Amino acid sequence: MSSNMRLLFNILHYSTFTNTLCLFFHIFTLLQHHKPEPHDLISCHLAFIHVVMFPTVLDVLPPDVLESPHLGNDFKCKSLFYINRVMRGLSICTTCLLSVHQASTIRPSNCWLARFKHKFTNNIVSVIFLFCPLNFSLCSSIILFTVASSNMCHTNLLQVIKYCSLSPMNSIIRAVFFTLTISRNFFLVGITLLSSVYMVIILSRHQRRSQHLHSTNLSPRSSLEKKATQTILLLVSLFVVMYLVDLLISSASTLLWTYNPVILNVQNLVVSVYATVAPLVQISSDKRIGDTLQNMQSGCYKLFTS
What contacts 23, CB < 8 A, 6 or more positions away?
A: 44, 47, 48, 51
Burial of residue 167, with CB atoms counted within 10 A of its CB: 0-12 exposed, 13-18 middle, 19 or more buried: middle
**Angle of CA points 93, 237, 205, to nearest 5°:** 100
Residue 6's identity, in one-letter code, is R
Question: CB of 181 within 8 A of CB of 217?
Answer: no
The tens digit of pLDDT for each residue in 274-305 reads 788 878 777 777 777 666 667 666 766 676 77
CB atoms within 10 A of CB 150: 13
> What is d(CA 120, CA 117) in angstroms, rounded to the nearest whole number?
5
Burial of residue 90, with CB atoms counted within 10 A of its CB: 0-12 exposed, 13-18 middle, 19 or more buried: buried
Q: Where are the alpha helices (DSSP H) in 33-72?
A: 38-53, 63-67
Which DSSP helix (H) or strand (E) runs through 9? helix 3-32
The tens digit of pLDDT for each residue in 106-145 reads 765 556 666 777 777 778 888 888 999 999 998 888 888 8
* pTM recorded for the entire structure: 0.82
Q: Which of 92-96, 131-135, 158-162, 222-226 has the lowest mean pLDDT?
A: 222-226
Percent of the chain whose predicted confidence (pLDDT) is above 90: 4
Domains of the chain: residue spans and CATH? 3-305 (1.20.1070.10)
Question: Mean pLDDT, the chain, as a whole number?
Answer: 76
Q: Which of 97-101, 120-124, 265-269, 287-291 has the lowest mean pLDDT?
A: 287-291
| pLDDT: which is higher, 274 or 49 | 49
| pLDDT: which is higher, 113 or 240 | 240
